[in-house]
Amino acid sequence: MPITILSECWAFLRWQSGIRLFRADEADRMNKRNYLDGQMLIAMPGMTDPRFEHSLVYLCAHSESGAMGLIVNKATPMMSLADLVSELELDAQEPDRVPDEVMSMPVLYGGPVEPARGFVLHTSDYFSADSSLPVTTHIALTATLDILKAIVRGDGPRRANIALGYAGWAPGQLEDEIQHNGWLHCDADDDLLFSPLHEDKYLMALHKIGVDPAMLSIDAGHG
């Protein structure tokens, strides 16, 4: 992936499909209409799209206009925060003092749409009024270079996932996929969302809703 062009992609978040994130009061109203903002989608066996096989997707936005989310359990091969810092030529303050576990944070494959665009899904202890978009009362999404600089400086969010690309659904598409048993869904929690054990998250999510993977069938959906 040509990450040298990432500096052009880490710009203010643009919803080219018309999807927008709602403020907290709007989110509360919309969730009463069975929208799934802030929840996890769990791919069912037999997922026909190989890009989403065994995927766990955090839904950042869901409304009558469509849905947008990030795959949070698949790391991009051979790419870490350190690689982004190097390629984007970010000026870190005292970079030698940045903990190794921070710089080795993997960059996730967020989805097949705009795979060179960067996103940070994070706890809302870090929030920029100019560029952070609230998903829930304690989770936000930011897509500017400032948050990467803050993470490297040690001023960033308490917990975060860095991702390239996103998953998007047209109006009614996600509802149709759920109806046809393409996805399960469950409530998100920080330990699941931000666990560094990305390869284990899929099974963790199934266990969270009491599903035995060995008994899971493509003929039985959830929710």
Q: List pLDDT tens digits, range 45-104.
A: 878 889 999 999 999 999 999 999 999 999 998 899 988 888 887 755 555 666 778 888
Q: Tokens representing 148?
A: 């990467």
C-beta of residue 114 within 8 angstroms of C-beta of residue 9: yes
Please provide the CATH number assigned to the domain covering 3-209: 3.40.1740.10
Residues of the chain with pLDDT under 50: 1-32, 221-223
Query: What are the extents of the domains in the chain?
Result: 3-209
Measured between alpha carbons, how far apart are the two ends of the chain, in Å?
A: 37
Q: Any idea of the CA torsion for 223, 170, 134, 85, to the nearest 10 degrees?
A: 110
- Written as six digits, the tokens of 189 are 């929690």
The predicted structure's pLDDT at residue 33? 60
Count, residues in the chain: 223
